[in-house]
Amino acid sequence: MSRSTFSTRYLVLAIVLLMLVSIVNVADKELLAPVVDAVKVDLDLNDTQIGLIRSSVFLAALLGQLFWGPLSDRWVRKYIIAIGTVIWSGLTWMTAFVTGFSGMLLARASMSFAEGCFNPSAYALLTDSTPKRRHGLILGLMSLTYPVGTAAALVVASLIGTQNWRQPFKIYGVIGLFLGILVLWLIREPQRGASEEAVEAVEGVYTGRFSFKEFRKVLAIPTVLLTFGLDTCQASVNWSFAFWAPTYLTRYGIAPNSEMAALALLPAILGFVFGAVIGGLLIDRLRHRTPSAPLWISLAAMVGGLVMALLVFNLFQLVWLMTAAFFLGLVTYMVMPAVSIIFFSVVPPETKASTIAASNVVLNLVIAVLSIAIGWFSDLTELRWAFGGVILLMYAVGILVVLLLMRTYPRDMEKRDALVENRVEVE
């Protein structure tokens, strides 16, 4: 089915539904963060064990990407999303019944493995379903589901009470099961490459097909490898803030309790929401003037984020810190749609999902190591140096990566456009 057969009404419905699934996806992954202090007491855990649990989430996601990514490029993506959503939601519900460290680690890891189905499949499906000139907005809307999902986890945990930490896992498990069924019923599968300009120009069909030989060529593209680095930097910042910030706020007396610490993150999350949409809209607007628009947005995000992070970790009054955190989220999250657009501008359509999955493998491995490192270094010294040091380092590396992309991106984009044009056949 080509993109032209999709009505505007269906596209709005599909985007909203997949955004809801993504929100639950992120919320499930972050449900432990706002209740971590209560879990530590109830299950008798220390910071190192919490770091290991957090690390297991990303290591399992890494393994999941190796499975789900290639499958998404070869099979029906809506089936993958529906099946994966049902599985991870069931595992989220089961997390409410764990009784110790090993049970929590297994529950979180298995849930994360199943969740790995979503991003590769959903991003590829939506960009094949919508006009290319709107991809910045679409990817921006999908990107804002990360902070919204994090907020959903924080708010529900705070309203229920962190001492009742098992209830949110039950609630989100049931919601996810319902959404998985809706995906199977409502989402349609688009033709791969349907939104490519070369395809639309001649009302043709893109004939490229996924193979591991083709994907190995993708892994040799300099822009792809550098963008793996950029994606890892932004993800390390975002996931580290989502998990460690509530503990940081209570440990240093910035917030009076865990519930207030969770709610104190809402301004930063609001900034992330605005940043994702603004970043996508700016890219769509600026790409008419320069093909390197995603790079300039990424550079602004990394530089602005570094400046604001330095400020955040030197503020100890809650109101001022929340204000700075809003602007940190605003500038940082402009990079989210940029990363996906860079990928999709230099890789063939039949390798979109596998490319996103490969990037997720890299970033999950790095975040797993950083999660252990933050917990371990926090036990040795203090959380501020461990947590803040990782955040500042990732911003600095992100700036360097974007500067290197300035040299490789235009050339790799031209090669990709020529390849796609050669694989289009007129119907």
pLDDT digits (tens, 9 = 90+) for 60-81: 887 888 888 889 888 999 999 9
Instruction: Return the pLDDT at 182.
Output: 95
Q: Provide the residue ranges of all domains of the chain, joining segments of one domain with +.
A: 7-426
In contact, 80 and 403? CB cutoff 8 Å: no
Residue 308, token pair as written in the block: 């604001």
* Range with the largest mean pLDDT of 100-114, 216-230, 309-323: 216-230
pLDDT at 202: 63
Give the predicted TM-score (pTM) of the model: 0.80
Q: What is the DSSP letter of 182?
A: H
Q: SS3 of 45, please?
A: coil
Condensed to tens digits (0 to 9), the pLDDT of residues 48-63 reads 788 788 778 878 887 8
CA dist 54 and 49 (Å) reads: 9
- 367-370's contacts with Cβ under 8 Å and 24+ in sequence apart are 367/55, 367/58, 367/232, 367/235, 367/236, 367/239, 367/240, 368/55, 368/56, 368/57, 368/58, 368/59, 368/62, 369/55, 370/236, 370/240
pLDDT per position as a tens digit, 166-197: 888 999 999 999 999 999 999 998 888 777 77
Kindly tell me the sign of the dihedral angle through the C-alpha atoms of 65, 70, 75, 76: positive
Nearest-5° Cα angle at 12, 9 to 16: 140
Distance between CA atoms of residues 144 and 340, nearest Å: 13
C-alpha distances out from residue 412 to 255, 348, 406, Å: 48, 11, 11
pLDDT of 140 over the 70 cut = yes
> Higher-confidence residue: 113 or 288?
113
- The encoded tokens of residue 241 equal 């803030």
Share of the chain above pLDDT 90, in %: 35
pLDDT digits (tens, 9 = 90+) for 282-337: 998 898 888 899 999 999 999 999 999 999 999 888 889 989 999 999 999 899 89
3-class secondary-structure state, position 206: strand
Please give the pLDDT value at position 201.
64
Q: Which residues contact 32 (CB under 8 A, 6 or more apart)?
A: 39, 53, 54, 104, 108, 243
The CATH number corresponding to 7-426 among 3.90.1260.10, 1.20.1250.20, 2.70.70.10, 3.40.309.10 equals: 1.20.1250.20
Residue 218 has pLDDT above 70, yes or no: yes
DSSP notation for 15-30: HHHHHHHHHHHHHHHH
Between CA 415 and CA 421, with CA 419 as vertex, the angle to 5 degrees is 120
> Is the pLDDT reported for residue 1 higher than 60?
no
